[in-house]
Structure 1
Amino acid sequence: MWPARLDLNNAGWRKSTYSNGQGGDCLELADDIPGAIPVRDSKNPTGPVLFVAPAAWAAFIDGIRTGAR
């Protein structure tokens, strides 16, 4: 379980390679957070962050790559 408050102010956020390059639909991911993949909307960097377990994130990305529905 992740802490109720995790300081992500200095996190290394990067834009997902699956994000739209036109300024919309942009996800950012933070690296180097043990046991979690923090995900946020790049248009709202001070908004909520979704924490995803690494195995669930890997399955999600695999589904995108294979075209799963």
Structure 2
Amino acid sequence: MDLSDELKTADWRKAAKSASNQGNCLEVAPLSGGRVGLRDTEAPEKEPFVVSASVWDAFMDGAKKGEFDF
């Protein structure tokens, strides 16, 4: 399957917390080849960003450790 087709039919997920109910949310989707798609719910017309599983894992590890907290 072509990546653009896969992104259209991907199983997009977003956090169930209150912020996501207001539309300002990041959605993620698992893709073939161990890739992860990312998209902004506030800009659905923009092409999703795609990263490798290792990049996603490193980001998630940092997020869990609070490395991105402001």
| Same fold, TM-score > 0.5, yes or no | yes
Partner residue, 1:60: 59
TM-score of the two chains, using structure 2 as the length reference? 0.70
Written as runs of structure 1 = structure 2, the 5 A alignment for 1:18-29 is: 20-29=19-28
Q: How big is the alpha-carbon RMSD for the aligned residues of Structure 1 and Structure 2?
A: 2.5
Query: Any idea what SS the aligned residue of 1:14 has?
Result: coil
Q: Distance in 2 between matches of 1:38 and 1:68?
A: 21
Percent identity of equivalent pairs: 35
Written as runs of structure 1 = structure 2, the 5 A alignment for 1:28-67 is: 28-67=27-66
Contiguous gaps of at least 5 residues in structure 1 = none
Bigger helix fraction: 2
Task: Give runs of ≥4 in structure 1 deviating > 3 Å.
Answer: 16-19
May I ask how many residue pairs the two structures share in their alignment? 66
Q: Distance in 2 between matches of 1:17 and 1:34?
A: 27
The amino acid that maps onto 1:44 is A
Change (3 A) 1:12 1:54: same
TM-score of the two chains, using structure 1 as the length reference? 0.70
